[in-house]
A = this chain, B = another copy of it.
Amino acid sequence: MKKKRTTIKDIANVLNISPAAVSKALHNDSRISEKTKTAVKRVAKELNYQPNHLASALRKGKSNLVGVIVPRTSSNFFSSVIQNIEEVLNKEGYNIIITQSNESFQKECNNIDTLLFTQVDGIIASMANETVDLSYYEKIKSKGIPLILFDRGENDLNVDYIGINDYDSSFMIVEHLISKGCKRIAHIGGFRHTRIFNNRIRGYIDAIHAHNLPHDDDLLIESSLTLENGKQKMQELLALENPPDAVYIAGDYAALGALQLLKEKNIRVPNDICLVGFGNEPFTSLVTPTITSINQHSAQIGQLAAKTFLERVKMETVKQTLNKIILDAELIERDSSQKK
């Protein structure tokens, strides 16, 4: 048995007729003789031909598939968003397929090509850290396929977006640390070119200014926010002549790295340095001390993204008001910021 899938062309070759005639015979077209139909069906069976449902979907212009692109599936935030997208869409007869960018722009481009290739009816995406060039996302739009962005979205694209209020969340964290008596608050942030991280940086700076705390450039550091990078950036902060008494880190994995470093150096959290993360990953409530963090409402974001997609496919034209849903985040206070 040959491994390659049998195509209409293979059947056509055996019978020395055209592929179009084979297709017509398989669909019982009246223009094809009974004799030919019988022959086509016999050969189709012999070659283990499987009718191509996708081809039929292509004719109808609908696949009932929705593609999801995330930086990584291993993060609890993204896997919870996916879970909730899936629950809403499954009920409406859609299946989802997931791709991950691993924060790479090139991989994200490949993911978009892959999803377009599989004829998805829509794409729900959160962008890679590296992504600055938006032409691949423009490609989705130009094909008239609904595109919904969440968390890491880019307003310039002018598409539906669901996320939390990153600026306010940042402001709230800084005020929480001030209320605990912290006076030199550092921020290990994400890359400024990503709007959510830029908003967190702006919230941090404005809160520092609003409370007349010293504004020190050394205390604001950009990071890829991986665990390893969090460790490294924490090390840089400790090496300062005048180190901080609190660190707010824009991602929980990087916060975990920072905590590990502080423990290795026998620096007490929260008494020597207070620590706050972002994302409310499950491990924040498991480590010692537990880490104060921001709940990003992943379940609600996933549900809203799916519902926005469903609204889009029901509408006949793309000329419509965009959904831009910004949720208020919630501060989860834990031990790492409860300075006594």
Task: Judge if A220 is at the interface, Cβ distance under 8 Å.
Answer: no
Partner of A52, one of B20, B58, B313: B58
Chain B, Cβ-Cβ closest to A3: B144
Contact yes or no, A98 B73, CB < 8 A: yes
Contact yes or no, B1 A144, CB < 8 A: yes
B residues less than 8 Å from A117 (CB atoms): 53-54, 57, 63, 65
B residues less than 8 Å from A57 (CB atoms): 117
B residues less than 8 Å from A129 (CB atoms): none
Chain B, Cβ-Cβ closest to A107: B90
- A interface: dominant SS: mixed
Chain B, Cβ-Cβ closest to A9: B59
| Given known A2-B144, A287-B287, A317-B1, contact A59–B7 (CB-CB < 8 A) | yes
Task: Judge if A329 is at the interface, Cβ distance under 8 Å.
Answer: no
B residues less than 8 Å from A16 (CB atoms): none
A61 to B49 CA separation, bound complex (whole angstroms): 12
Least distance between A322 CB and chain B CB atoms (Å) = 15
Task: Judge if A232 is at the interface, Cβ distance under 8 Å.
Answer: no
A90 to B59 CA separation, bound complex (whole angstroms): 31
Contact yes or no, B95 A111, CB < 8 A: yes
Task: Judge if A76 is at the interface, Cβ distance under 8 Å.
Answer: yes
A339 to B287 CA separation, bound complex (whole angstroms): 22
A8 to B286 CA separation, bound complex (whole angstroms): 57
Task: Judge if A99 is at the interface, Cβ distance under 8 Å.
Answer: yes
Task: Judge if A97 is at the interface, Cβ distance under 8 Å.
Answer: yes
Among A76, A95, A116, residue most surrounded by chain B Cβ atoms (within 10 Å): A95
Least distance between A5 CB and chain B CB atoms (Å) = 5
Task: Judge if A217 is at the interface, Cβ distance under 8 Å.
Answer: no
Instruction: Please provide the chain A residues from 297 to 320 with a CB less than 8 Å away from any CB of chain B in the complex.
Output: 312-313, 315-319
B residues less than 8 Å from A107 (CB atoms): 90
Chain B, Cβ-Cβ closest to A145: B5
Task: Judge if A173 is at the interface, Cβ distance under 8 Å.
Answer: no
Instruction: Please provide the chain A residues from 18 to 58 with a CB less than 8 Å away from any CB of chain B in the complex.
Output: 20, 48, 50, 52-55, 57-58
Task: Judge if A292 is at the interface, Cβ distance under 8 Å.
Answer: no
Instruction: Please provide the chain A residues from 52 to 111 with a CB less than 8 Å away from any CB of chain B in the complex.
Output: 52-55, 57-59, 61-63, 65, 72-74, 76, 79-80, 82-83, 86, 90, 95-100, 102, 107, 110-111
Which residues of A are interface residues toward B (Cβ below 8 A)? 1-5, 7, 9, 20, 48, 50, 52-55, 57-59, 61-63, 65, 72-74, 76, 79-80, 82-83, 86, 90, 95-100, 102, 107, 110-111, 113-119, 142-146, 256, 282-283, 286-288, 312-313, 315-319
A-B contact pairs, 11 of them (CB 8 A): A4-B62, A7-B58, A7-B59, A48-B142, A54-B54, A54-B58, A54-B117, A57-B117, A86-B100, A97-B115, A286-B286
